[in-house]
Structure 1
Amino acid sequence: MPIYLSMQRVRFSSPDAYEKFKVLFADTRRHLMTLPGFLHLTWWEHPDDRSWYNECSFWTSRGALYDWHKNTYHKYCKSWAANGAIMEDIITNFELVGTRLIRVCPVCNKAEDKKYNLAEEQAVLKEQCPQCGFHFPMLEETPSSFAVFKDVPGLLMNDKEDKQKEEAKA
């Protein structure tokens, strides 16, 4: 089953609309964490344009994303946004091809480049440097819901990158 990614780029109609949005968005994490197919949500302000906001979410499948769109809380928030709070919302959806983690330890300089299962990203990011034990910095879930994460252990990823290599060999 492929991991599904959704990215939104949003402009609000006014600074006041964004302030109201933050109140609604802060409760989002409570609703997302109940969904079995939710993995990751981050929200940030573009550093070069303070009126441009970006959201990225990861799901265990396209159906899991649709489950979120059927959620009552999400429906009401979307209706509120469409009634004047947002000026523009650009949505792009992707299926995951593969994931890699590249790390260089600042203590011992050990370099790692490895594939990993996105459905278990939080566990992978918590791993220490295998050579010296350094704990890499890691963003925890935030009360604002600007960062919400959850692993789904045991979910087998359909790695399209590996599949393409196998097909090329045949």
Structure 2
Amino acid sequence: MPFKFFIFCLLAFVLSCSFDDRESRPQKLTPPLEQLANSLSEKGLTFNKQRLIVLTFTGTDGGKNQYGPLLSEKLTTELVKKDRFHILDRMVHERALKEKGLSLETNGDMATLRKIGEELKVDILVTGIVSAYQDGLFVNTRLIEIKSGLILKAEEVFVPIDL
């Protein structure tokens, strides 16, 4: 009899632990660039879809960052999935800009950003700054309205990097 009681108690303990485990398990984490796209795409900015393009992300010094092009492309893809904006293709429009002496790889001033906006007929530019930190990258993004130069939305995420 004591052996059966022991088995019963052990089974009850295991079952109670498994139910507690289920409640405390973390929810599925949203990938960092999808988080950025979700935040930048939230409703409320305007009622009409606006045209935008994602500039190549730079380092904190405004120079090139080795992850900048990749992060810009991935964010472009995530924004397209949200169906909130009319997104211009970066590769196609980079070639057109080069003919005009402009580039998506700019850390330029507002006048340069306006020239890019006018040339591509976009309402919004997405800029980004990449900062290395320990085992990953902080990615700061901004939605900048071309006409006013105002930052409509800003967001930051941490992207872990396995080296």
TM normalised by structure 2 equals: 0.27
Normalising by structure 1, report the TM-score.
Answer: 0.26
Relative contact order, higher structure (CA 8 A, sep 6+): 1
> Which protein is bigger by CA-based radius of gyration?
2
Query: Which structure has more strand as a fraction of its residues?
Result: 1
